[in-house]
Chains A and B, each alone.
Chain A
């Protein structure tokens, strides 16, 4: 049943996008350029003769490539709900989702489904291929570790979407949540070793934004042992917290009568 519901939404969303193909195209270009800003800064830093100590340019770009790839998977499915909640709560139309005979979170997620965001897979892949070309090809175990940690990365972005979306039940109509997202996740776009030791721990275990890109990329570079997979735990924990928080905020919203 769920597949058919999701399949139906997917189809209509794609049909919608295809009806405005020029719009879709431009919006993808926009996302690609946006994703390439930080890599551009990295490139310019390395071209001017400086570096992140202990990291080649390709290695640093690999982190940012993983970031874009993870967004490319997680954003179409999860992140759209942030915009959906923002709009619906501000206009007072969130009730429409409550009227559907489905879990509200699922409804918020699929009505926010946004195919444009798949465009990030393009920028991510381009960067990824470019980065890998400048280094020794990783071995099979590294790929396996990377695969698992990439899952954690997508989970993290899903959890973050829940936090931001939940926040918007209270903080009505604030598009600043996107800025807050960008600010906090920017820690995850650079080699973790540039941060102080204590901050590194915070970024891995407390506010695990390092998980989004740095940790998986490190695995692919063969820099982590299997013990690094413990990082999957905080991701799962964070998702759980996200779900709890979202539902709590939703209850607060419905009991306040909108």
Chain B
């Protein structure tokens, strides 16, 4: 266990340093985040004229939704899929196969590393801008549940992306398909609009897909109430459901990873 922590922190620290060389790229979020948010403010201000609530959300709650969703996006962001497919395609994956450590753990440690940098370069400044410039209420309803839920979102996004990256062991030249999938992932996660705006039938489907656990569910948990497809859950229930989803995805990822390794050691890709 102690060894594992040392490994994760060493890889994480190296990645942190690597990314720190590109702080300015990350800091672009200080411009992009607020500008995007400003657009949302105007859109919803107009849309809410004459409406108290839309699909169960008030105007203030809607702003909180977008504010929290973008913060969670910065916390959970990674491109594990891109990275992995690049390693496979360039043949560099072999250098990882030669280290006594499964690659997914390496990738997860990398994510922990660059997200800890993002925490103060991206997340914190944007959070402060949202609170003090836009006056958004970003008080979590229950901080404990919120933190837990965001942690699960962090893992969930990593595992989904990593699974997408693992497909590179079978489909070497399918970068386009992977990008389409990731875009659909964002739509189904509720990045662009809360999932409660989708037609009922769609909501029922979305409820059972893994994507709502990346953005929609943690954002709603942050706000204090969860509802999708007519299902209301208490915070404990919602986070519990998320935990189940995380375990199932972890299992899926393990199976897929092992299959990929079998393929790698069988064919050498």
A residues neighboring B (CB under 8 Å): 23, 26-27, 29-30, 33-34, 37-38, 40-41, 44-45, 47-53, 171, 174-176, 179-180, 182-184, 186-187, 190-191, 193-196, 199
Contact = CB atoms under 8 A, between A and B. Distances in A.
B180 A33 contact: yes
Contacts of A195: 42
Given A44-B197, A186-B39, A37 B192 contact: yes
A43 to B, nearest CB: 9
B54 interface: yes
Q: Which 3 A-B pairs have the closest CB atoms?
A: A26-B176, A194-B46, A176-B28
A180 B176 contact: no
Contacts of B39: 183, 186-187, 190
Most buried by B among A34, A53, A175, A176: A176
A180 B187 contact: no
A23 B31 CA distance: 33
Nearest to B26: A176
A194 B28 contact: no
B183 interface: yes
Nearest to B196: A48
Given A33-B183, A183-B32, A45 B197 contact: yes
Given A44-B197, A50-B54, A186-B39, A30 B183 contact: yes
Nearest to A171: B24
Contacts, number: 90
Interface string B123-159: 0000000000000000000000000000000000000
Q: Is the interface of B mostly helix, strand, loop or mixed?
A: helix
Nearest to A55: B46
B55 interface: yes
Given A44-B193, A171-B24, A53 B179 contact: no
B173 interface: yes
Contact of B197 (A48, A184, A186): A48
Interface string B43-81: 101111101001100000000000000000000000000
A11 B155 CA distance: 46
A180 B32 contact: yes
B198 interface: yes
Contacts of B198: 44
A164 to B, nearest CB: 12
